[in-house]
Structure 1
């Protein structure tokens, strides 16, 4: 497998295989939502679209990034998600980087969305698919986000070597600007940020499923696909979430 790493602006519109990475925090939140029983996640292009979808479908939930916005149920915090019942629910998610990156490559032959918590399962799915090339979309900071690049490179390493050590990649993510911004937000008391968010984003190979996106009824829909390549509560190099 030949990995190619790019930001959203440089992404081809329809690569054969695309892996969209958003560690802090979109696709960490998505993975935790699936682990808590969410049925599917509809990726929205705008906040208005997300709220309109929620309004048309009673019982759906809506997540966004940044400070809390009226009408949304969660401000993209994995730690705050623990107090929200998502079992059996459809979630609409709109974020600045993660969902934007996925929508940019919505016509890929195989489209995966990922973060560290599902990295091992994502690598296992890629190993089984055996693609010649994989386009990794590093969504944060115009394609320069260290935490997203580290996660992408860890997944590529896991495809080649099943027992690759996540530690060095997690260390890079821990020292990233995104981690520092979240920690600063906690100190400043920003709404929508939880003290446990960074730790939860820095757990590796926690869940035994990858997250596959495909068009359904005119929307890009994300669902979990179990691979058996990781176990819940498995390797967590950064320690347990607080």
Structure 2
């Protein structure tokens, strides 16, 4: 598999397969939202768009980066979201980098959104699709976020290699700037457990697939059954 690792600004063409990585915290939060029962997540282009969607659909749950704000129901924190019952609900998510990355590749035939919590399921889906070329979109810090790059590199290795040790990749993420800022309280709208939750490898058994539905970029969980004979992969 030919894997490319690009920042959002480096996306010069529409990839055939894109894996958008935001470990801290957009796609860890998205995975938790599905685990808490959410049916789908609408990835909003702006805070204004998120609020407009919330106005049209008052029953939807809107969340954003940073501190709580009028019109939003939650913040982009897995530690805070894990206590919210989202059974059957639609979530509207707007974040600084993760949602931006997914919208940047919205025309790609296959768009996956990922973090460490869904790494194996994401790799397995790429294996089932037999993807020859995959573009990993490293969303944080203009493509330089080491937690996102480490996760992307781990997933890429996991697609083709058996027994990949995740320890070094997780160490890089734990020592990243994002982890330090969350731990030190630089980033608002956080919970003390956020970093640890973002580093839980394969916490959830599903991948997350984003597709255009009526002009909206919609993220949904995707069950990925094990392939016959792949137990050792």
TM-score (norm 2): 0.94
Aligned counterpart for 1:206 among listed residues 203, 207, 210: 203
Deviation at residue 13 of structure 1 after TM alignment: 4.1
Matches within 5 A, 1:68-217: 68-185=68-185, 191-217=188-214
Distance in 1, matches of 2:121 and 2:144, equals 24
Q: Mind listing any 5+ residue stretches in structure 2 that lack a counterpart?
A: 227-233
Deviations 1:32-65 (A, max 9, x none): 1011110000000000100110110121000101
**How many residues are matched?**
226
Give 1:104 deviation, angstroms. 0.4
- Aligned partner of residue 136 in structure 1, secondary structure: strand
CA-CA distance at 1:163 after TM superposition: 2.9
Unaligned 5+ residue runs, structure 1?
230-242
Aligned-residue Cα RMSD (Å) equals: 1.1
1-structure distance, mates of 2:136, 2:188: 31
| 1:193-240 deviation per Cα after TM superposition (whole angstroms, max 9, x unaligned) | 1100000000111111100000001100000001135xxxxxxxxxxx
**Alignment pair present for 1:220 and 2:217:** yes
What SS does the corresponding residue of 2:74 show, helix, strand or coil?
A: coil
CA distance in structure 2 between the aligned counterparts of 1:69 and 1:13, rounded to whole angstroms: 36
Tell me the CA shift for residue 191 of structure 1.
4.4
User: What is the CA distance between 1:131 and its match in structure 2?
Assistant: 1.4
Runs of 4+ with deviation above 2 angstroms: none
